[in-house]
Amino acid sequence: MKLQRKNMLRASALGALVVSGALVLTACGSDDNTGTGGNASGKPSAAAGDIKCDGAKGKLLASGSSAQKNAVDLWVKNYMAACSGVEVNYKSSSSGEGIVAFNQGSVAFAGSDSALKPEQVEESKKTCTGGQAINLPMVGGPIAIGYNLSGVDKLNLDAATIANIFNDKIKKWDDEAIKKLNPGVALPSTAIQHFHRSEDSGTTENLGKYLKAAAPDAWPHEAAKKWPAPGGLGASGSSGVATQVKQVDGAIGYFELSYATAQNIKTVDLNTGAPAPVKASADSASKAIAAAKITGTGSDLALKLDYTTKAEGAYPIVLVTYEVVCDKGNKAETLPTVKSFLGYTASDAGQKLLSEHGYAPIPAEINGKVREVVNSLS
Amino acid sequence: MATTTRTPTDMPPPVSASGKTAGRAGDAVFSGLSKGSGILLLVIMASIAVFLTYRAAIALSQNEGNFLTTFDWNASANPPVFGIAVLLFGTVVSSVIAMAIAVPIAVGIALFISHYAPRKLAAPLGYVVDLLAAVPSIIYGIWGALFLVPQLAGLNLWLDEYLGWTYVFDKSQPGVARSLFTVGILLAIMILPIVTSVSREVFLQVPRMNEEAALALGATRWEVIRMAVLPFGRSGVISASMLGLGRALGETMAVATVLSPSFLISGHLLDPGGGTFAQNIAAKFDEANEFGRDALIASGLVLFLLTLLVNGAARMIIARRKEYSGANA
């Protein structure tokens, strides 16, 4: 019986672990992947000019997606260096947990790697007196398709082929479909072992959204946090998937780009229909986000990404994390701090910091609207 | 023999519990404290049970699938569909594999330490075994995923080739050994120390006179163990195994790190797939919405009941063999 209690504790300890595993998400480009984001040290003063501390004071609590954890950490560090007496605390857990905490009114803003669902917006009206929760796109990042195939250093795939691989339809690396996309490459007949996240994850959901949009015939599954396809192997956390891909010859998997760079895993170039296959990078991800349309109404800036974009150099498997705040009815004591902090994250300096650390900045047009909304928060 | 060893430990409590003998304040305080601890434990247990039942009831009332037979876990979806069949199967199978491997080895180690090893070797060996228990389960998990899984590829091929006809060891899917079988092996290593050290203590308590009597009858060392040590220690070994089983049933981190979960029941133990209660809770908890968490708690309740059942069964076995009872009368 006592054991049972221990198990529950362990379960939550695991939560903490999964989170800490995910801390290392998209930041720290090619250098270390240890997750503190501390390698930006010595720079805070450079950005301080763009930080306006007007009225910011006290403690600002936030919680949510671990995908943007490193970006937020960098921002927080610079921000707190510039505005004395303010403490920003972003608890990196998961999008789901962040939104629950936001709707209960225990955090001032939440980070989420998917836009809010209608029922979540409905629920937020209780917390946001006179207003409701809105999505502000703040951080972008490419999801890389990493593979491990001895003798093959460059691999082009398109959405349908990726879908068929992850759907267990294509079982060998020398399948006709792969050969066709890679003329002149000597593909071995190694069996494909595809890896996915064994726990529910926003990365899975965002890859699912891409496959569903770009290859609806090959990928019939609805995008969800739970891996929907049969077969394949699960591993826990992006780091778990990356480690497996690194270890197993013939493996393919998906994770944020920084994991591929950190472990030297080769990534698939995406054949989007553009003149040349596109490599996953912060730059190419930003170009794809630029093709997105804002579907939110009013001050809500939820994006609909154009997954079928054929723009040159645009890599459409991307993940956009939103900051979730109330448009009206923010708590009076935290409102100035929220406006000041999000004002900084959306500023040129704040966004520039992203690209320096492997994240994709939000394109200027959308970012401009984010700034307007942040200014109008009340 | 057993009765004489037990009397001294059993007698004192009634005297002090009555509280009237000496009338000292210390007695009253101590009896109050120990009574309080006992009651506290019951209160904690009861509140856990109430909490689990309450949250589980919410989840079960809205489940669109059959909780016992659905092969899926989509609790955060709308409408929610989830069932524990796969988890129950995986939990039981991985624990049974673990027990089948760990208990014989643990008994062997315990006998070696208590009866065979020279004293100089016995103490450090016992210490090393206990040390195994101090390794955090996440370390076992990482070790399992990075080292054990690749190493087992060869064993899997061998089992598939020579024992594939048994169906159980037929590897029908390609892929690395992130299977229930591997999890069972890992769990076996994890429960080894607890089973070993409890068994060892029990074997050390075998009355010397029993052993000497057997020796006097001309028994060899193996015969002494068979006739005197093992019968005396049997119930102790059973309860040691139950402690180990409890850990195996509820192990979370190591399983979550090593297993490649899927919601399918397969008798092919070498194929990746399956899942356990604790592993599933760990994998789903982070991104679950509130209802999804209730559903996970419902599965936790089933694990709770399973553990209760197993413990109850163990108690019954021990009670039936009370006459031999060594360590836990």
pLDDT at residue number A209: 93
Range of the domain at B169: 66-322
Pick A100's closest partner by Cβ from B253, B278, B290. B290
pLDDT at residue number A316: 94
What would the mean pLDDT of B218-236 be, rounded to a whole number? 90
Q: What is the DSSP annotation of A203-271?
A: HHHHHHHHHHHH-TTT--SPP-SS--SSSSEEESHHHHHHHHHHHSTTEEEEEEHHHHHHHT-EEPEE-
pLDDT digits over A232-279, tens only?
888 888 888 999 999 999 999 999 888 888 889 999 999 998 889 999
pLDDT at residue number B327: 44
Which DSSP state fits A120? H
ipTM: 0.71
pLDDT digits over B1-55, tens only?
444 444 444 445 554 444 455 568 889 999 999 999 999 999 998 998 899 899 9
pLDDT at residue number B215: 92
The number of distinct structural domains making up chain B is 1
List A318's β-bridge partners, or say none: A142
Cross-chain Cβ contact B250/A243 below 8 Å: no
Average pLDDT, chain A: 84
Task: Choose between B193 and A5: higher pLDDT.
Answer: B193
* Lookup result for tokens 């009355």: B207
> b or e along B89-117 (b: 16 or more beta carbons within 10 Å of the residue's beta carbon)?
bbbebbbebbbebbbeebbebbbbbbbeb
Q: Is the pLDDT of residue B245 over 90?
A: yes
Instruction: Evaluate whether residue B12 is within a structural domain.
Output: no
Closest CA of chain A from B149, distance in Å: 10
The values of phi and psi at residue A100, to 5°, are -60, -45
- Tokens representing residue A245 in the block: 């891909």
Instruction: Evaluate whether residue B41 is within a structural domain.
Output: no
* Lookup result for tokens 């794809």: A288
Instruction: Evaluate whether residue B53 is within a structural domain.
Output: no
Closest CA of chain B from A260, distance in Å: 18
CA A182 to CA B309: how far, in whole Å? 58
Express as a percent the part of chain B with pLDDT over 70.
90
The values of phi and psi at residue B118, to 5°, are -65, 150
Average pLDDT, chain B: 86
Instruction: Evaluate whether residue B47 is within a structural domain.
Output: no
Q: Is the pLDDT of residue B325 over 70?
A: no
Which DSSP state fits A40? G
pLDDT at residue number A346: 93
Which residue does chain B place closest to A92, by CA atoms?
A: B286
pLDDT at residue number B191: 94
- Tokens representing residue A261 in the block: 């760079």
Q: With cut-offs at 50, 70 and 90, classify the pLDDT of residue A224.
A: confident
pLDDT digits over A39-70, tens only?
444 444 444 557 888 778 889 999 988 888 88
What would the mean pLDDT of B258-284 be, rounded to a whole number? 89
Q: What is the DSSP annotation of A308-319?
A: T---TT----EE
Q: Is the pLDDT of residue A182 over 60?
A: yes
Q: Are A24 and A34 in contact (CB under 8 A)?
A: yes
| Cis bond before residue A216 (omega within 30° of 0) | no
Which DSSP state fits A350? H
Mutate to test the interface with A, among B41, B183, B287 (most CBs of A within 10 A): B287
Closest CA of chain B from A321, distance in Å: 15
Q: With cut-offs at 50, 70 and 90, classify the pLDDT of residue A26.
A: very low
pLDDT at residue number B23: 67
Picking from A324, A332, A338, the residue whose alpha carbon sits closest to that of residue A83 is A338
Pick A10's closest partner by Cβ from B253, B283, B311. B253
Number of other residues whose CB lies within 10 A of the CB of residue A223:
17
Q: With contacts defined as CB-CB under 8 Å, which chain A residues touch B290?
A: 100
Closest CA of chain B from A97, distance in Å: 7
Cross-chain Cβ contact B252/A14 below 8 Å: yes
List of residues 6+ apart from A256 with CB closer than 8 A: A25, A26, A67, A141, A142, A143, A144, A203, A238, A319
Q: With contacts defined as CB-CB under 8 Å, which chain A residues touch B308?
A: 1
Which residue does chain B place closest to A96, by CA atoms?
A: B287
Express as a percent the part of chain A with pLDDT over 70.
87
CA A262 to CA A265: how far, in whole Å? 8
Number of other residues whose CB lies within 10 A of the CB of residue A63:
23
How many pairs of residues across A and B have Cβ atoms under 8 Å apart? 125
Q: With cut-offs at 50, 70 and 90, classify the pLDDT of residue A345.
A: very high
> b or e along B22-60 (b: 16 or more beta carbons within 10 Å of the residue's beta carbon)?
eeeeebeeeeeeeeeeeeeeeeeeeebbeebeebbeebe
* Lookup result for tokens 């080292």: B147
pLDDT at residue number A19: 42
Put simply, whether A14 touches B (Cβ < 8 Å) is yes
Q: Is the pLDDT of residue A25 over 60?
A: no
pLDDT at residue number B322: 61
Picking from A220, A171, A245, A138, the residue whose alpha carbon sits closest to that of residue B176 is A245
What would the mean pLDDT of B72-79 be, rounded to a whole number? 82
Put simply, whether A244 touches B (Cβ < 8 Å) is yes
What would the mean pLDDT of B196-210 be, rounded to a whole number? 92
Express as a percent the part of chain B with pLDDT over 90.
47
Instruction: Evaluate whether residue B19 is within a structural domain.
Output: no
What does pTM read for this prediction? Answer: 0.77
pLDDT digits over B86-114, tens only?
999 999 999 999 999 999 999 999 999 99
pLDDT at residue number B323: 56
Put simply, whether A190 touches B (Cβ < 8 Å) is no
- CATH number, residue B270: 1.10.3720.10
Is residue A129 classed as helix, strand or coil in its secondary structure?
Answer: coil
